Amino acid sequence: MRNLSLLTLVVLFFAACQSNSTQYKVSGTVAGLDSGIVYLVKAENGRPVTTDTTDLVNGAFSFEGSIAVPELHYLRLNAQDYFGQFFLENEKIEVTANIDSLQNTEITGSPSTDVFNKYLDEVQVMNENMKEYQQQYSAAMAAGNKDEMERIQFDAEATNDNMTVFAKNFVRENSTSVVAPFILLTQLSQQLEYVDLKELYDLFPAELAESPYMKQLTEMVETKGRTAVGVQAPEFTMNDVDGTPVSLSSFKGKYLLIDFWASWCGPCRRENPNVVEAYQKYKDKGFDILGVSLDRDKSAWLKGIEEDKLTWTHVSDLKYWQNEVAQLYGVSSIPHSVLLDKDGKIIAKNLRGEDLHKKLEELLN
């Protein structure tokens, strides 16, 4: 039994390779409901797309067909009663549901689902631990117990690290299963640096290459490879606040921080005083900053620059998350920064707070 809401945390997407069978048959029952319409749904670009429908007759339903590249599907009754998330593959799949507890729907006959459920069993335990830490932290904060708050935070961070280690090990141990690329894509790809991501990606056999999730991973590996520590930063040109083109190469000869931010980004604005302090301290020692804004409103962008006293060069195309430089550098969250040496080679990423000052002191003092 699996709770659907747990799965939605990891994204309603999945792909699997073909089995030896060329047809699937999904047979199911919904206890407590005699008639209705059952929808077979998959997620496409983050939106639910109905791929088939069938009648529920005397509490039973079935779907038959063939799928070239298996994908994660789920079932729906009425407008919003989603249940029975499973990997649709060319197998005989059985669904057992109850109208009063759709979250406890049982799925059998899908080997990929069986593998994934092993992963979810462990993740669910860790999620429960994290919820407990959150409750304990709130209680300690209400009581003003700072020592207890620090202890709980330490334990929570350790649990979060354990979740990452477990996910990486699961990918390694199940690298021939289609589950592994899914976990790497949805659970690990954003947080892993290029070397670690590539090491896991290279474990997957050639027969998984046609999975759309492998294709997404391939693109991500290529993007992270372009901006990995040790490589030459990709060249770009973008207009500054006056509409004048500014090229990355024009900053060669200085240590440069490419700072991705936006006026609407709270964490960015909170980090800005630290960046300002670093700039004022090291600007006369061969350090510079190039701000790349993901704003879409020019007046808000200019106001943010003025309010936070960001006196270095700024560029933007005002395309929000579609900012061309952000896409070139694979930026999926902000604040995000890339530190270059005098030759334009990437030497560090996402240095914040005291870490930024320590690195600049190491380089410039």
Task: Give the pair of three-digit tokens for residue 241.
Answer: 């606040």
Q: Are 185 and 218 in contact (CB under 8 A)?
A: no
Q: Please provide residue 202's backbone torsions phi and psi, each rounded to the nearest 5 degrees.
A: -70, -10
Mean pLDDT of the 37-49 span: 88
Yes or no: say if 24 and 93 are a contact pair by the CB < 8 Å rule.
yes
Q: Is residue 297 over pLDDT 90?
A: yes
Non-local CB neighbours of 121 within 8 Å, separated by 6+ positions? none
Distance CA 238, CA 254 (A): 19
Q: Which two tokens stand for residue 25?
A: 């048959």
Does the pLDDT value for residue 24 go beyond 70?
yes
Q: How far apart are CA 346 and CA 234, in angstroms?
A: 10
283 pLDDT exceeds 50? yes
**CA atoms within a 13 Å half-sphere pointing along the CA-CB vector of 23:** 4
- Per-residue confidence band for 19, with pLDDT thresholds at 50, 70 and 90: very low
Residues of the chain with CATH 2.60.40: 24-109
CA 337 to chain centre: 18
User: Quick check: 140 pLDDT over 90?
Assistant: no
Give the per-residue pLDDT at 20: 54
* Confidence grade of residue 286 (pLDDT, cut at 50, 70, 90): very high
Where does the pLDDT of residue 15 fall: very low under 50, low under 70, confident under 90, or very high at 90 and above? very low
327-338 tens-digit pLDDT: 999 998 999 999
Query: How far does CA 13 lie from the centroid of its chain?
Result: 12
Of 201, 225, 203, the C-alpha closest to 214 is 201
DSSP single-letter state for residue 285: G
- CATH level 3 topology of 231-364: Glutaredoxin (3.40.30)
CATH architecture of 24-109: Sandwich (2.60)
Q: Which residues, other chains included, contact 328 with Cβ-Cβ below 8 Å and sequence gap of 6+? A: 226, 234, 236
| pLDDT top residue among 120 and 292 | 292
pLDDT at 11 over 70: no
Write the CB contacts of 108 (distance below 8 Å, at least 6 apart in sequence). 93, 94, 96
- For residues 268-276, average pLDDT: 96
* Structure tokens, 361: 């002191």
Backbone phi, then psi, for 268, in 5-degree steps? -65, -45
Closest CA to 232 of 262, 209, 252: 252
Cis status of the peptide bond prior to 234, with omega within 30 of 0:
no
Give the pLDDT band (50/70/90) at residue 18: very low
Give me the pLDDT at residue 185, please: 92
Residue 320 in 3-state DSSP?
helix
Q: Is the per-residue pLDDT at 315 higher than 50? A: yes
> Which two tokens mark 307?
């309010």
So what's the pLDDT on residue 87? 87
Q: Which has more pLDDT, 2 or 40?
A: 40
Query: Exposed, middle or buried: residue 96 (CB in 10 Å: 0-12, 13-18, 19+)?
Result: middle
Q: Lowest-pLDDT range, 177-181, 268-272, 274-278?
A: 177-181
Q: 353: phi > 0 → left, psi -120 to 50 → alpha, else beta; which?
A: left
* 49: confidence class by pLDDT, cuts 50, 70, 90: very high
Mean pLDDT in the chain? 90
Confidence of residue 186 (pLDDT cuts 50, 70, 90): confident
Contact 77, 97 (CB under 8 A): no
Place 191 in a pLDDT band, splitting at 50, 70 and 90: confident
Tell me, what's the pLDDT at 211? 85
User: Does residue 91 carry a pLDDT above 70?
Assistant: yes
Average pLDDT over residues 94-110: 95
The tens digit of pLDDT for each residue in 208-261 reads 888 888 998 999 999 899 999 999 999 999 999 999 999 999 999 999 999 999
Can you spell out the DSSP letters for 89-142?
A: -SSEEEEEEETT-GGG-EEES-HHHHHHHHHHHHHHHHHHHHHHHHHHHHHHHH
